Amino acid sequence: MSYAIKEIFLTLQGEGINTGRRAVFLRFAGCNLWSGREEDREEADCTFCDTDFVGTNGDGGGRYADAAALTAKVVETWGLGIEEAAPNSRFVVLTGGEPMLQVDEALIDALHAEDFTIAIETNGTIPVPESIDWITVSPKAGTEVVQCSGNELKLIWPQPGSNPDEMEAWAFDHHLVQPLDGTSLNDNRMAAIKFVIQHPRWRLSLQTHKLIGLR
């Protein structure tokens, strides 16, 4: 299987429980909830995405012929020799778009063979293989979420039509609320803080990479 990749880059994880961790971000092209074109946003199932996942023209992007070729690029991006100073530290985040449109066992096995801990950020509408090490689901109101278990549930807030009370019954280790970015970010941040104050099972997640100028 070949893979359409928007970009691959080294950064620090900016959101959730793994905030601050050195990571290779492997961004897959394409999504099942929005085409990525602005003219389609208003009618999309997800109208607030802040990520460019269209095409394969980003840093490290392209069409990779197989899992071995893509994994080799991830290893190169992590940095040869780095793991010798920090064993068991290799960390890759599969994101998009929607990575589960392309992620398969061949890629998971190849990344594990190179000692990567694999995290995924998904909208939860496609089942995630149990072989992935860290599962973050960010549900979108009005969609059918089938991946109702994992490590992190990250609810973008405010999100009309979402049912946080129902989500509390889902089998996640951590329930996170993250302010919706955009022109109303300050108001949304205060709304998220208020939500957490009133719902102590949830924790606040911030996009710290944006606050400190990372990708």
- Give the residue numbers marked as catalytic: 25, 31, 46, 49-51, 121, 209
Cα separation of 190 and 192, whole Å?
A: 5
Cα separation of 121 and 99, whole Å?
A: 8
Whether 179 contacts 185, CB under 8 Å: yes
- What beta strand segments (E) does the chain contain? 3-12, 22-28, 62-64, 91-95, 117-122, 134-137, 149-157, 171-179, 202-204
Whether 52 contacts 29, CB under 8 Å: no
Residue 42 CA neighbour count, 13 Å, CB half: 1
Choose among 146, 136, 204: nearest CA to 172. Answer: 136
- What beta strand segments (E) does 103-148 contain? 117-122, 134-137
Cα separation of 138 and 120, whole Å?
A: 11
Whether 132 contacts 107, CB under 8 Å: no
